[in-house]
Amino acid sequence: MITTTGLTKVYQSRGREVTALDDVDLQVREGEVFGVIGQSGAGKSSLIRCVNLLERPTSGTVTVDGRDLTALAGRGLRAGKELREARSRIGMVFQHFNLLSSRTVQDNVELPLEILKVSGAERSRKALELLDLVGLADKARAYPGQLSGGQKQRVGIARALAGDPKVLLSDEATSALDPETTRSILTLLRELNRALGLTVLLITHEMDVVKTVCDSAALMKKGKVVESGTVSELLATPGSELARELFPVGGHASGPDRTVLDVTFHGETATQPVISQLSRTYNIDISILGAAMDTVGGRQIGRMRIELPGPYEENVVPVGFLREQGLQIDVVDDNPSAAAADGPALAEEAAE
Ligand SMILES: Nc1ncnc2c1ncn2[C@@H]1O[C@H](COP(=O)(O)OP(=O)(O)O)[C@@H](O)[C@H]1O
Ligand SMILES: [Mg+2]
């Protein structure tokens, strides 16, 4: 539904060049909720602004719903007719709502329809239908100043849906909201995604958001996408940083010369017997340093951090045993002295 190839954005800022996007290839499938995660300055907002051509990319292409937007003329507010039309099919939700305070809730939702020159009666029918959809049917005549943050964002979402978009872009839409409101807005986005078949590309810096609503996710760093995939693919990728952040398990080695492993298992895998089997088969004592269970993308996932006696070289066989049971094993580099020498290389080798 959304594809970027070689997307690059270089800003000129006071004589300096800032590369905000560096050769980004992204694939967002139709009907999925796709989360982009990354620290401040990673290029997330630039990505969204390039996807709807509010910013013209320095190079690369953006295709939305089969249409190469980069081939259409104009930019920003001076976009050509074709680009404006294409863009009206891409809804945008902002962190600070961007509502007009002098207009009623209904008139805010009608705004994009006015721009699309939809007739008055049709505009108001559509606006009321959308307000009903976001649970604000009774607020049509209120002004933004009379609404809570969560309600304002619902208006923002209704407005974003006015042009019947196939794609909704959301740049930190919940960052200004408290956790409970955040959850209700996310649930709404998820419901809209399901009910309207809407493809959602959302930017967030909260891992919880990804865990709750996203089918897929990408991690951005310094203008590059360094990891991306469905959440379950990521969780099944050894060494995935996103998986680790989605699923933090604590616990440190109890001393030197220990092997610390993160064991990831999906709902159906029974870990408990596997761990005790391991212990019996190799006659080793296994300590559990930390564990977490959670629902990710509607699936039960668990992660456990365990410790085996002895350095990794002595545990190659037990680790192999665990992998053979279908568990995903990440060797945790928790030993400062080993890490300095050959720790990372071993961890990589172990990951293969
Ligand atoms: N209009 C702009 N002019 C110059 N530099 C910009 C502009 N917008 C963003 N940048 C720079 O591009 C980089 C990425 O910014 P941004 O896309 O806003 O990241 P994020 O949304 O992940 O915080 C940052 O270094 C930022 O300072
Ligand atoms: Mg940003």
Separation CA 155–CA 168 (nearest Å) = 14
Tell me which residue of 153, 166, 172, 159 sits closest to 87, measured CA to CA: 166
Report the Cα–Cα distance between both ends of the chain, in Å, rounded: 33
- pLDDT for 218: 96
CA 34 from chain centre, in angstroms, equals 5
* 228 band by pLDDT with thresholds 50, 70 and 90: very high
**CATH fold match for the domains 2-235 and 247-351:** no
Residue environment code for 57-77, b if the CB has 16+ CB neighbours within 10 A, otherwise e: bbebebbbeeeebbebeeeee
* Ligand 1, atom 18: closest residue by C-alpha: 45
- pLDDT, averaged across the chain: 87
Q: Check residue 345 and give its pLDDT.
A: 37
Q: Residue 47 CA: which ligand 1 atom is closest?
A: 17
Q: Cα of 43 to ligand 2 centre, how many Å?
A: 7
Helix (H) / strand (E) containing 81: helix 81-88
Residue keyed to tokens 């045993």: 321
- Band of residue 347 on the pLDDT scale cut at 50, 70, 90: very low
Closest CA to 90 of 148, 150, 146, 164: 164
Average the pLDDT over 279-286 and give the result: 92
Q: Which ligand is nearest to the CA of 49?
A: 1
Q: Return the pLDDT at 276.
A: 86
Determine the pLDDT at residue 351. 41
For residue 83, count other CB atoms closer than 10 A to its CB. 22
- Nearest protein CA to atom 27 of ligand 1, as residue: 41
Please give all residues whose beta carbon lies within 6 A of any atom in ligand 1, as ranges.
11, 13, 18, 20, 38, 40-46
pLDDT of residue 81: 84
Single pTM value for the model: 0.82
What are the domain boundaries of the chain? 2-235, 247-351
pLDDT in tens, 73-99: 776 667 788 888 888 889 999 888 899
Query: Which CATH superfamily is 2-235 part of?
Result: P-loop containing nucleotide triphosphate hydrolases (3.40.50.300)
Say yes or no to pLDDT of 24 above 90.
Answer: yes
Range 247-351 classified under CATH 3.30.420.40: no
Whether 134 shows a pLDDT value over 70: the answer reads yes
Q: Mean pLDDT check: name the lowest of 52-56, 70-74, 213-217.
A: 70-74
Q: What is the pLDDT of residue 165?
A: 94
More confident site: 104 or 293: 104
Give the least confident one: 31-35, 141-145, 168-172, 252-256. 252-256
Query: Helix, strand, coil shares of the chain as percentages rounded to 5?
Result: 40, 30, 30
- Strand 90-93 and strand 167-171: the pairing is parallel
**How many whole angstroms separate alpha carbon 67 and alpha carbon 63?**
5
Give the tens place of pLDDT for each residue, 202-222. Answer: 998 888 888 888 999 999 999
